[in-house]
Structure 1
Amino acid sequence: MPDSGDVHPVKASQRGDSQVRVYAVQPRKGATPDEIVTGFLEAMTSDDSNFATARSYLAPETSKRWRPEASTTVLAAAPDPGVPILGGRDKPGMSYPLLGRQIAAVDAQRAYQPVTPSDYRRTIHLSQQGKDGEWRIDSLPPGLLLGASDFERNYVSVNKYYFASGRSVMVADPVYIRQRQDPVTRQDPVTQAVSALLEGPTNWLKPVVESRFPTGTALKGGTRSLTFDDRNVLKVPLNERASGVGRSQCTRMAAQILFTLKDLSSSRVEQVELQRRDGSQLCVLSSGQAKEYAPDHAVGSPDNQYFVDKEHRLALLESGAAESTEPRNVPGPFGDGSLPMGSVAVSRDERTAAAVSRNAASLYVSSIVNGSELKGEVVHSRGASAANRLSAPSWDGRGDLWVADRDPENPALMRVPDGEDTPQDVRIVPGLDGARIEALRVSADGVRIALLLTKDGRTTLKIGRVERQGPADDPVVTVTELRPAAPQMETVTAVSWAGPSRLVVVGKESGGVQQVRYIQTDGSTTPSALLPGLNQVRAVAASDDESKPLVAFSAEDGIVRLPAGANWQTLVKEGSSPVYPG
C-alpha cells in the first residue's frame, strides 16, 4: 500500500480517450435481434458520414425519420439492452428496453442541460423487413443515446461569445460540438464552432445578449473547413446577408469569432478576416484589438488576493508574491480595525471594498486606497442571528454591489447601484419556493448570478439570468429562469466564478466526501475537473483569469492557495473570507 501521494477518484467505466475512434460495422446477413440492437448502439458512437452505418440497422422509413442531430441523451454508462419482449398479433416483432441512468441532455442548439440522476427506460422495437425477413429497428427513442464516456470522447465544450445587451462586453455561451468532423454537416471543429456562433445564442441566454451578425448570416455555402495560414490568420467567408455591414459592426462580428475560437484551436488565433460571398474583404481584427470587449477590459485583470485576517481586518496579498511574503492590511477603516468584519468583497478596479460586519447585521462600503473615514451602513438586516442576516457581498462587472438578507421574516436579494446608491430589491422569477439564498456570486459580465439556495437542510447551486428593463440609469433588475448547475451534488458549501463560463464549487455527492471541482455554467463537468483534496473548506475564490491560483479557507489549514500543477499551500494559518476582486 502506498503511504504518500494524492488520492484520485477511480471510475468503473474509464473516460473515453479522445484519440480513440469507433468505426461502425454494418449488420451481417441474418443478424439476430440481439446483434441488431447491440450493433446499432455501438454505431451511434461513431463518426461515419450522416450516421450511415447506424441507419443500416433501421427500417427504411425509420431511417428517414431519425434525426440524430436533434438531441442527445447522456447516460452515466452505455445504455444496457434489457430482456427482449416478444410482440403479439397486434404488434409483431420484438421490443428491447433500454436501461440506464440519465445525467444530462443536449438539445438541437447544442446546449447541455444536466439533470438530477434518474433511471432511464425507453423501448426500441424490431420487426422483420423485406422478403429475406431481416431484423431491423422500426421504433426507437429520438436523437442519440450515449454513455458519458462516449459523449466525452466525441464532444468538446466550446464557448460561443455574444455581447451583453446594450454593452460592448462579451458573454460566454457554452455549447458542445463534435471533437472531430461532424457526421451530419461534415464540418471540422473550427467550422462547427463558427457555425454555432452564427446560429445565435442559446434560448436561456438569448434575452440578455446580442449578436452583431445580421439575422440570417451563415458561412458561405459548402464551407466545411476553416483553416489558419502560416501567420495564424483565419479567413471566414460569409453569405450575402453580411455583405453590407459597416466597418464598426464588422469588427464586432470578428471579435465574436476571435473570442469563440481562442480556446478551441491548438493553433493560436492571431487575426480574423471576414470575407463577403465573392471573396472580397469585409474587415480584419487582431486578437489584441479584440481585448477591449473582454468583461474586465475597463479595469485590467484584477488578480490580487484578499482575505479577512485574524484581527478581522482586510488584508491584501499581491499577485505573484512569494510564499514567504507577509500580507499587508489595506488603507482605511477596513484595514485599521475600525470595523471588525465577517465577510468582504473587493470591487473589480480594486479601489473600493464592501464589508459585512462580524455580526452580519450591517453592510458598509469604503475606499481601500486612502484613509477615508467609515461612512454609514448601506444595508441593515434585522435577522435574529448572524446566520439569518446578510450574506457575503459580490460586485458585478458594472460596478454594482449585490447582497442577500437571509432574515426568514424579511428575505431579500438587493443590488446597490455603483456601491453607494439606495439599495434596490431584485425580484426572482419564478420565486424560490421556500428556499433561502445562502450565498451569491455575480459574473464579471453582469448577466448571470450563481446562488446557493438552502431548503429542507440541503444547499444547492443554481444559475440565474440577470435581466434589466427600463431606463439605463434606473433599471428594474430581475433574476429569472434559475437552473441547476450541480444536480449531482447532494449539498454545495461554496462557489466562485472561475472564468467566463466556469465555476469552482465545494460540495459533496450523495454518500461521498467533500470535494473541490470545476463545473461549467451549463452544469457539465469532467473527471479531470476534480481538484486535489482539502479538508473542511468553508470558502473558495478564483480569478476570472484562469491561470491564477485558487484561494480557499479551510477550517483546518487556514487560508490556502492552489498554484497550477501543485498542491494546496498554506498562506496564513488564521484568517477567513478569501476573495479575488469581484
Structure 2
Amino acid sequence: MPDEGNLKKVNASQRPDTQSQVRVYALPPQENAQPADIVQGFLEALTSDDPDFAIARKYLTKGAAKTWDPEHSTTVLADGPNPVTDNVGNDSGAGRTYSLTGRQIATVNSQHAYQPNERQYVKTVHLTLQNGPSGRVWRIDRPPQGVVLGASDFERNYQSVNKYYFPTPVPGAEGRGTRQRGLVADPIYVRQRIDPLTETVKALLQGPTNWLRHVVRSRFPSGADLAADTKSLALDDKNTLVVPLNARADRVGQGQCREMATQLLHTLRDLTSSNVEQVELQRENGSQLCVLGPEGAESIASHHSAGQPGYQYFLDEKGRLVQMPGNTGGNAKPEPVAGVFGSAVQRLRSAAVSRDERHAAGVSEDGRRLFTASLVGGGTLGGAELRSRSKSDKDGLSTPSWDGRGDLWVADRDPRHARLLWLAEGTGEPVPVKVSGLDGTIEQVRVSGDGVRIALLVEKGGKTSLQIGRIDRQGGKDEQPDIAVLELREAAPQMEEVTAMSWAGPSRLVVVGRESGGVQQMRYVQSDGSARTGATLPGLTGVREIAASEDEGQPLVAHSDDGIVRLPSGGQWQTVVKDGSAPVYPG
C-alpha cells in the first residue's frame, strides 16, 4: 500500500472490470441517517446481489415499497447516477428532493431486452419524514421506477443469455431451397447470481421480445407459465430440470411438447451457470408431458442455424476462389475450389459460398457483374441477371451473402441507384428489398444463418455504422415475394466508425472499427447493441476484411497488411498467405 498521498472517494460504479466475481451485499439504513445517506444507500443497494431488492425497499416508505417496481426497467449510465441536492430546508421541513443525473447509454426493458439509448439522464428522488421504531426517520417516498446503475455494475450483475424460438414459416417457401431447421436467438439480460436459471425459463415462457416477435414463434401455448406454486427451479442429482407448467400447457401433444423442450434445452445451453442434461415438462397436476435430452433436441432443431463449415475461403492473387480445411493448424495449404471459380477464367473482387458449400456467387473485378457457379463439379459462369451501372470501380456490387434458406443478398452501391437486392436461390430476377428507416448507403451485407436478421454497414457523411434489421417476408403478386428490412437498430453504438463485420455466433458479431478518438480495433458485439468489456481481440495491423463462422469454435480469418491471417481459439494471429483478399466462411 502507498504510504503517502490523499484519500480519494471511489463510487460503486467505478470498480475495476476485473472485479466481476466480487459480490456486493446491501446494507439497511442506519439509525438517524440523513437524506443524502438515504439516497446514497438506496443507489448502492441497487447494485447489490440482493434478491428482489429487499434491502433497497427498506430505504422507501411503506407505500413506495409496495408500488416501486424494480422489474419495470434497468437504466445503464456510463458512470453511475450522481445525486444532486435540489433543495435543503425549503420544503417546509417535511421533504427533500434530489436529482439523479448522468449519461445514459442503454436501458433493459421489462422483457429483459437491451436497447442502446444514449442521452442525458435526469430523474428526481423525493424523501419525507416518517415514524420509525425510535423516532422520525427519512425515507424515499417517490423513487424512480426500475433500477438505475453504472455500466461496470451492470456488467458485474447481469449476463447475456440467448432465448431460442422457431422462425415463422414463410408462405410459398415450402420445399424450396435449403430447409431451415435452426432456431433464432433472442438475446436478453438476467441477473447472473439471483437464480438466473428460473429467470431465464420465465423469460422464455413470456415469449419473444418485441423486436423479434413478428418473425419468430414459440411452441409454448399462449399464456403458458410456471405452475403457480413454483418459486424456483433447480437441477436434480442427474442434471435433469423438471419444469412444471400451468394449465395452459395441459393439452399439448407429444410433438409440440418436444419442440417446447427443444427451445428450453437450447436456451439453457447458453446459460453459463447451467449444466442441464435433459428437461422434463410436467402438467400442473404433476403428471409428465415429455422428457427430452440434447440429442433429441438437435434432431428437432439445431442449436446453431449454420452447421460446422467444411472450409474457409478467400481470393488468391489471381482472383481465384481458394479453400482451406476448417479449424486446422497452420500447415493447411489453400487450394482452388472445384469448378470455374477455381480457375482464372473470371477474376473476382469478392465471393460468397452457400451454407451447404455446393454453390458460390462472385462479383467481377470491376464490381459490375454478379456470377454464380457450382463448387461440386464443372460448369460455366451463369446465374443472376444482375449488373451494376456504377461508373466507378470503387462502387458497384458489395460482397454477396447467402442466407439459411439458400437465397442470395447483395447491395448495389451505385450512387445514382443504390439498392438492396434479393435473389431466390441466387438466380433469376433480382427483387428490390425495401429498407425502412435507411439513412445512407449500404456498403456491406451479412445475413444471419437463421435468415431472420441482416447486418448492414451503412455509410453516411464519410462514416460507416453497423445496423441490424429484421427481415420481413410476405407473399407478393405472381408468387413474387414482398421482402422488407424493418426496424434498423445500431449494433455498435460505442464505435464511431465500423469498417468490416461478420456474424460470429447466434447473436454475436465481430467488428473492425474505432471508437471516437481511438485507433482501429477488433471486438465482439451483440446484435442488440451491447458489448462486454474484454471483448477486444488481439491487435492486427491494417485490417480490411474479417470473416467469422457462426460455429464459434472456428478461427477468425482476416485480410490485413500481413495478408490472409487467421486467429485460432486461444492463440495468436497466424499468416496463411501474403497475397490474398476477401476471406469468407459459408454464408
CA contact (8 A) 2:305 2:404 kept: no
- Give the structure-1-normalised TM-score: 0.92
Q: Is the 1:27–1:36 contact (alpha carbons within 8 Å) kept by the matching residues of 2?
A: yes
Provide closer, same or farther for how the CA distance between residues 374 and 571 of structure 1 changes in structure 2, counting only shifts above 3 A: same
SS of the residue 1:206 aligns to: coil
**Match of residue 93 from structure 1:** 95
For 1:329, the equivalent position in structure 2 comes to: 336
1:239 matches 2:246: yes
Match of residue 138 from structure 1: 141
Q: What is aligned with 2:554? A: 548
| Contact preservation (8 Å) 2:29, 2:58 | yes
Which position in structure 1 is the counterpart of 2:373? 366
**Equivalences for residues 290-309 of structure 1 within 5 A:** 290-294=297-301, 300-309=307-316
Tell me the distance in 1 between the aligned counterparts of 2:422 and 2:89: 62
State the partner residue of 1:574: 579
Structure 1: unaligned runs, 5 residues or longer: 1-10, 182-187
In 2 relative to 1, CA 320–484 (structure 1 residues): closer, same or farther, beyond 3 Å? Answer: closer
Residue in 2 aligned with 1:195? 202
Which segments of 5 or more consecutive residues in structure 2 lack a partner in the other structure? 1-12, 170-179
CA distance in 2 between counterparts of 1:302 and 1:482 reads: 29
Deviation of 1:290 (Å): 1.4
Q: Is the Cα–Cα contact under 8 Å of residues 505 and 549 in structure 2 kept in the other structure?
A: yes
In the other structure, the counterpart of 2:268 is 261
Q: How does 1:13-162 map to 2 (within 5 A)?
A: 13-15=15-17, 17-86=19-88, 88=90, 93-116=95-118, 118-130=119-131, 132-162=135-165
Count of matched residue positions in the alignment of Structure 1 and Structure 2? 562
| Contact 1:317/1:327, CA 8 A, preserved across alignment | yes
**Structure 1 CA distance, aligned partners of 2:126 and 2:120?**
20
Distance 1:368 1:95, change over 3 A: same
TM value normalised by structure 2: 0.92
State the distance in 1 between where 2:81 and 2:210 align: 29
Alpha-carbon deviation of 1:299? 7.5
Which residue of structure 1 aligns with residue 526 of structure 2? Answer: 520
CA contact (8 A) 2:183 2:304 kept: no
Offset, 1:376: 5.7
How big is the shift at 1:75? Answer: 1.1
User: Aligned residue for 2:259?
Assistant: 252
Report how far residue 300 of structure 1 moved: 3.9
Question: In the aligned structure 1, how far is the partner of 2:304 from the partner of 2:18?
Answer: 38
Separation (CA, whole Å) in 2 of partners of 1:471 and 1:405: 23
Q: Name the CA distance, whole Å, in 1 between partners of 2:341 and 2:392.
A: 23
- Partners of 2:391 and 2:251 lie apart in 1 by 63
Q: Secondary structure at the match of 1:68?
A: coil
Amino acid at match of 1:123: T
- Counterpart Cα distance in 2 of 1:91 and 1:577: 70
- Mapping 1:161-180, distance limit 5 Å: 161-166=164-169, 168-180=181-193
The 3 A distance-change label for structure 1 pair 564 and 139 is same
Q: Report deviation, 1:95.
A: 2.5
Contact preservation (8 Å) 1:561, 1:571 = yes
Q: Distance in 2 between matches of 1:411 and 1:22?
A: 53
Report what 1:185 is aligned to.
none
Q: What secondary structure is seen at the aligned counterpart in 1 of 2:376?
A: coil
Of the three residues 439, 461, 468, the one matched with 2:444 is 439
Of the three residues 469, 478, 489, the one matched with 1:483 is 489
8 Å CA contact retained: 1:170, 1:293: no
- Quickly say closer, same or farther: Cα 1:510–1:159, change in 2 above 3 A: same
Contact 1:502 1:521 in 2 (8 A): yes
Distance in 2 (CA, whole Å) between partners of 1:322 and 1:16 is 32
Residue aligned with 1:195, SS: helix
Residue in structure 2 matched with residue 410 of structure 1 by the alignment = 417
Moved more, 138-147 or 100-109: 138-147
Distance 2:239 2:428 in 1: 47
Residue-by-residue CA offset, 1:420-454 (whole Å, 9 max, x unaligned): 12110111123x13x00010100000000001111
Give, in angstroms, the shift of residue 265 of structure 1. Answer: 4.5
Contact 1:232 1:267 in 2 (8 A): no
In the alignment, the residues of structure 2 paired with residue 224 and residue 176 of structure 1 have an alpha-carbon distance, to the nearest angstrom, of: 20
Q: Could you say if the C-alpha distance between residues 284 and 376 of structure 1 is closer, same or farther in structure 2, counting changes exceeding 3 Å?
A: closer
C-alpha displacement at 1:92, in angstroms? 5.9
Amino acid in structure 1 at the alignment position of 2:474: Q
CA contact (8 A) 1:303 1:580 kept: no
Out of 385, 396, 401, the residue aligned to residue 403 of structure 2 is 396
User: In the alignment, is residue 273 of structure 1 matched against residue 280 of structure 2?
Assistant: yes
Match of 2:318 in 1: 311
* 1:14-71 per-position Cα deviation (integer Å, ceiling 9, x unaligned): 1263432222111112111221111111111123343222122123332222111110
Cα distance in 2 between the residues matched to 1:318 and 1:357: 25
Asked whether the 8 Å contact 2:309–2:326 carries over to 1, the reply is: no
Q: Secondary structure at the match of 2:411?
A: strand
Contact map agreement 1:448 1:466 (CA 8 A) in 2? yes
CA positional deviation for 1:13: 4.3
What is the CA–CA distance in structure 1 between the aligned matches of 2:136 and 2:279, rounded to whole Å?
A: 56
| 8 Å contact kept, 1:86–1:92 | no
Whole-angstrom distance in 1 between the partners of 2:23 and 2:165: 33
Percent sequence identity over aligned pairs:
56
- Whole-Å separation in 2 of the counterparts to 1:280 and 1:358: 64
